[in-house]
């Protein structure tokens, strides 16, 4: 028997245990997509290394985690067969608002993760898609999961990989790398907010009036605490079908729809609901100001976008940087893990550029990959000097070789 979790939610899962879902992302290429393969074409902010950690080792772990986050090999079952990775839903740690999977999604950006298609461990025979959460700022927003079931990023990561997508349990070192990567994910820059969550002079007058309404006793700031990244680290029943964690309001400009099940398509719809739920006596003008404030909190500054060629060169330069870090550390278990992930990333890149129009690009990339393999062999053999010489030659090639990228 299949039923719906919430009254008013529509749709019906069609033969969920027998029909393979069709992934319908709104981007060109494979399910993983070029943006995921190249760590997205956006230069993301990164957090400082964990206090007390060896910064060189931490940097290597973060890069390993980045690669693994994009690798289909981390997941299992249907997800792996379809070429999906963590980045398919969380590109560069954010949220894929365009992802739609027939039988599992009721709207773009929502997926039912308690189903038998991806994992028999989670099948609950209920059609209950949840909105894909952004991981930006994750280190500030515990607990994790829409219901706040997980106290740490590590616990949530294990649940997602092993339970939701039946992947192998990550090794202790791999889990450390995945957590290290997620700890680098900052909220998008927002010039309208200062470090205490207070609006700056860049915000509109309407948003400033809305800020005062937001902070009234018994209003929104009771749970969305501005000085704590707009969360309170608790779960609440806010009239949407159960108790759910308080989500941050940062970065909402790029994460619609809203609420645990994506029921609100706009900030205005969400504000209307909470004004009613909290019984706030607001005029139409005050509602408009409150919406302006929430939109200002969730705004993002313009981001630096790389061309495909710039992104490819950066990607391969980063792989060289990872090997340089391994040479300095002389840590064989870490080297084994990193080189394994580097080689898996090669497969994904080769798959993307497999079609005839990419023949010239594929030839150059094949030479870069072979040059990196030479460095890898020296690293694994403990030949630091030879590894550095080979790496220097490789890095020069990445800077100078011509790339004939096709617009195909």
* pLDDT per residue as tens digits for the range 70-87: 998 999 999 999 889 999
Q: Say if 329 falls within a structural domain.
A: yes
What pLDDT score was predicted for residue 303? 86
Q: Say if 188 falls within a structural domain.
A: no
Q: What total of structural domains would you count in the chain? A: 3
Task: Give phi and psi for 81, each to the nearest 5.
Answer: -65, -30
Average pLDDT over residues 150-174: 97
Say if residues 402 and 363 touch (Cβ distance below 8 Å): no
Tokens representing 22?
A: 């069709």
* Same domain (yes/no): 167, 59: yes
How far is the C-alpha of 362 from the C-alpha of 312, rounded, in Å? 12
* Same domain (yes/no): 133, 27: yes
Say if residues 68 and 177 touch (Cβ distance below 8 Å): yes
The residues, any chain, with a CB within 8 Å of residue 377's CB and separated by 6 or more, are none
* Same domain (yes/no): 64, 110: yes
How far is the C-alpha of 246 from the C-alpha of 144, rounded, in Å? 10
* Same domain (yes/no): 175, 27: yes
* Same domain (yes/no): 138, 74: yes
Average pLDDT over residues 47-67: 83
Q: Say if 393 falls within a structural domain.
A: yes
Look up the CATH number of the domain holding residue 27: 1.10.760
Q: Say if 302 falls within a structural domain.
A: no
Q: Is the pLDDT of residue 7 over 50?
A: no
Q: Say if 250 falls within a structural domain.
A: yes
Last residue of a domain, one of 147, 182, 217: 182
Considering the entire predicted model, what is its pTM?
0.87
* Same domain (yes/no): 102, 236: no
* Same domain (yes/no): 213, 353: no
Q: Write the DSSP symbol of residue 150.
A: B
* Same domain (yes/no): 263, 321: no
Selected residue with higher pLDDT from 13 and 82: 82
Tokens representing 67?
A: 């690669």
Q: Which domain holds residue 270?
A: 205-297
Q: Is the pLDDT of residue 3 over 50?
A: no
Q: Say if 326 falls within a structural domain.
A: yes
Q: Is the pLDDT of residue 18 over 50?
A: no
What pLDDT score was predicted for residue 51? 63
What's the pLDDT band for 32 if we cut at 50, 70, 90? Answer: very low
* Same domain (yes/no): 364, 316: yes
Q: Is the pLDDT of residue 138 over 90?
A: yes
How far is the C-alpha of 328 from the C-alpha of 317, rounded, in Å? 17
What pLDDT score was predicted for residue 323? 97
Q: Is the pLDDT of residue 8 over 80?
A: no
Q: Would you give the end-to-end CA distance of the chain in angstroms?
A: 45
Q: Say if 355 falls within a structural domain.
A: yes
How far is the C-alpha of 50 from the C-alpha of 176, rounded, in Å? 12
* Same domain (yes/no): 150, 15: yes
What pLDDT score was predicted for residue 177? 98
What pLDDT score was predicted for residue 402? 86
Last residue of a domain, one of 230, 263, 297: 297
Alpha helices (H) in 215-331, listed in sequence order: 267-277, 284-297, 308-329
Assign residue 124 a region: left if phi > 0, alpha if psi is -120 to 50, beta otherwise?
A: alpha
Look up the CATH number of the domain holding residue 240: 1.10.760.10
Q: Which long-range contacts (CB under 8 A, 24 or more apart) does 72-77 make?
A: 72/32, 72/348, 73/344, 74/161, 74/167, 74/170, 75/161, 75/165, 75/166, 75/167, 76/165, 76/166, 76/167, 76/168, 77/118, 77/119, 77/165, 77/166
What pLDDT score was predicted for residue 21? 52
* Same domain (yes/no): 169, 283: no
Last residue of a domain, one of 243, 275, 297: 297
* Same domain (yes/no): 345, 258: no
Assign residue 381 a region: left if phi > 0, alpha if psi is -120 to 50, beta otherwise?
A: alpha
Q: Say if 187 falls within a structural domain.
A: no
The residues, any chain, with a CB within 8 Å of residue 123's CB and separated by 6 or more, are 16, 17, 114, 115, 116
How far is the C-alpha of 161 from the C-alpha of 98, rounded, in Å? 22
Q: Is the pLDDT of residue 157 over 70?
A: yes
How far is the C-alpha of 92 from the C-alpha of 121, rounded, in Å? 27
What pLDDT score was predicted for residue 352? 86
Tell me the per-residue pLDDT of 105-134, one tens digit each, with 9 for 90 and over: 999 999 999 989 999 988 998 889 999 999
Mean pLDDT taken over the chain: 88
Q: Is the pLDDT of residue 14 over 70?
A: no
């Amino acid at each position: 028997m299949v039923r719906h979790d919430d009254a008013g939610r529509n749709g019906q899962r069609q033969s969920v245990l027998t029909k393979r879902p069709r992934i319908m992302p709104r981007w060109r290429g494979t399910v993983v997509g070029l943006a995921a393969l190249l760590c997205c074409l956006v230069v993301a902010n990164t957090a400082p290394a964990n206090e007390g950690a060896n910064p060189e080792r931490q940097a290597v772990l973060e890069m390993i985690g980045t690669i693994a986050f994009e690798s289909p090999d981390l997941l299992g079952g249907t997800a792996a067969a379809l070429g999906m990775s963590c980045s398919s839903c969380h590109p560069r740690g954010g949220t894929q608002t365009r992802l739609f999977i027939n039988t599992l999604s009721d709207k773009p950006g929502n997926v039912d993760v308690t189903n038998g298609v991806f994992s028999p461990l989670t099948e609950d025979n209920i059609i209950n898609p949840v909105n894909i959460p952004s991981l930006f700022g994750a280190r500030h927003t515990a607990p994790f999961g829409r219901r706040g079931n997980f106290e740490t990023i590590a616990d949530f990561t294990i649940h997602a990989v092993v339970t939701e997508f039946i992947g192998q349990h990550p090794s202790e070192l791999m889990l450390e790398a995945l957590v290290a990567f997620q700890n680098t994910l900052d909220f998008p820059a927002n010039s309208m907010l200062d470090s205490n969550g207070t609006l700056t002079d860049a915000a509109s007058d309407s948003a400033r009036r809305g800020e005062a309404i937001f902070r009234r006793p018994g209003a929104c700031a009771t749970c969305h605490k501005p000085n704590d990244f707009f969360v309170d680290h608790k779960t609440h029943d806010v009239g949407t079908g159960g108790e759910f964690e308080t989500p941050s309001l940062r970065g909402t400009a790029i994460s619609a729809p809203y609420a645990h099940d994506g029921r609100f398509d706009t900030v205005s719809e969400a504000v209307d609901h909470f004004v009613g739920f909290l019984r706030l006596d607001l005029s139409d003008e005050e509602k408009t100001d409150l919406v302006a404030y929430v939109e200002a909190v969730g705004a993002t500054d313009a981001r630096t976008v790389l061309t495909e060629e710039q992104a490819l060169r950066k990607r391969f330069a980063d792989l060289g940087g990872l090997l340089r870090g391994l040479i300095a550390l002389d840590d064989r278990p870490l080297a084994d893990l990193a080189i394994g992930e580097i080689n898996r990333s090669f497969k994904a890149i080769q798959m993307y550029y497999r079609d005839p129009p990419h023949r010239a690009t594929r030839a150059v990339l094949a030479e870069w990959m072979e040059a990196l393999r030479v460095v890898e062999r020296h690293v694994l053999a403990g030949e630091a000097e030879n590894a550095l010489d080979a790496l220097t030659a490789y890095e020069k090639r990445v800077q100078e070789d011509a790339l004939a990228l096709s617009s195909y």
